[in-house]
Amino acid sequence: MTNYNPENERIKKAYFIYLKEADQKSNTTINGIRKAILRLEEYTKFKSFKTFNKEQAIAFKKHLKSKTGERSGTPLAKATILSTINALKSFFGWLRFQAGYKTSIKVLEIDYLNMSEKEIRAAKAPKRKSFPSIEQIRKVIFSMPISSDIEKRDRALIAFTFLTGMRDSAIISLQLKHIDLSREYVNQNPNDVKTKFSKQIDTFLLPVGDDIKAIFRDWVIFLKETLLFDMNGPLFPQTRLGQDKTMSFAPMGLDTKPWSTASSMRGIFKKGFENVGLPYFTPHLFRHTLVHLGEEICTTPEEFKAWSQNLGHENTLTTFNSYGYVDHHRQGDLIKGLGNKKNEENKIDAIYAHILQNK
């Protein structure tokens, strides 16, 4: 069975080059677009893009709504359908200006790649995400063994993520030179660190416990003074593999190289949570935990702005919109407590006022 169209592949290659070099899209974004285009090709059995028309657009939308996810087995989320349709709409919008396609792709037919306003609102509605509590994170960290160098690294890794809320791609690219223990400061320099949108991010260790800070501090000292890593060495080195007595590959301590992907880091988190009987929470969900902690302990707009910047958000509203959902139990507690605060300034109102003034 045909699983590609040479003509399509040539024009897709040109489009992906355009996205990367002219539109400055990241590889992650391009891979998502690549997947969206492939969904359409699979549906049309790899017909030429020149056959695109409004009938095909309408039928494909119906197909997406009836399709189930490969892993979940449940219908595709509306957000997935929306991102797929938007990616295709942009692709055909570009394609209609390319030689050989100008007479085939009609702009009015591209408009049929859409969703209803109701569906778009549902697709963009914020999702309620479950994230670990502070108590759960601490239980994981202080239940982890530390008898080997690998185990020390694993515990320090989770502790550091809790202290900073940094994204996993940034964490695995950190070097010792980016850490200033005296200032409790992490320099996310985009020249070395894989930050989102290649931004410079100044991060200070968050107040989640001196015992958590001690774990990380001891780890940095261990790397420098015991393992003799230089300042360009990785903060969290990958595991070194070697052959054991049975000539099988097995962990043999720590390498001097960083991880190339975050899959090993996520594996460490998964194992840590499962070992204490808790559901697996990804490293990124720690950011949700820390945003909610910031909402509780920050007492002024300036404090929450600093907390937000620490997480790499230039606009405080991003922190609220992306991570600031209040679960219904906490919502009830807050509403009930408002009656006892008639003479106090409402902290959240003050923060929002500050946001709107500086928007």
Give pLDDT tens digits for 47-66. 999 999 999 999 999 999 99
Interatomic CA distance for residues 88 and 78, integer angstroms: 15
pLDDT, residue 68, reads: 84
Residue 174 near residue 235 (C-beta atoms within 8 A): yes
| Structural element, H or E, at residue 32 | helix 27-44
Higher pLDDT, 220 or 69: 220
**With bands split at pLDDT 50, 70 and 90, how would you rate the model's confidence at 244?**
confident
Per DSSP (E only), the strands in the chain are: 179-180, 185-188, 201-204, 237-243, 249-258
Provide CB contacts within 8 A for 346, sequence distance 6+.
338
Average pLDDT on 227-233 reads: 97
- Average predicted confidence (pLDDT) for the chain: 89
- Give residue limits of the domains in the chain: 6-124, 134-279, 287-357
- The DSSP bridge pattern shows strands 237-243 and 249-258 to be antiparallel
Q: Which residues contact 175 (CB under 8 A, 6 or more apart)?
A: 192, 231, 232, 233, 234, 235, 258
What are the pLDDT digits (tens) for 253-297?
Answer: 899 999 999 999 999 999 999 999 999 999 999 999 999 999 889
Nearest one of 172, 187, 158, 134 to 283, comparing CA atoms: 158
> What are the backbone dihedrals phi and psi of residue 191, each rounded to the nearest 5 degrees, phi first?
-70, -25
Q: Which CATH class is domain 134-279?
A: mainly alpha
Summarised one tens digit per residue, pLDDT across range 166-182 is 999 999 999 999 999 99
Q: Residue 214: which of 149, 150, 147, 159 has the closest Cα?
A: 159
Prediction pTM value: 0.72
pLDDT at 243 over 90: no
**Looking at residues 212-236, what average pLDDT do you find?**
97
pLDDT band at 343 (very low <50, low <70, confident <90, very high): very low
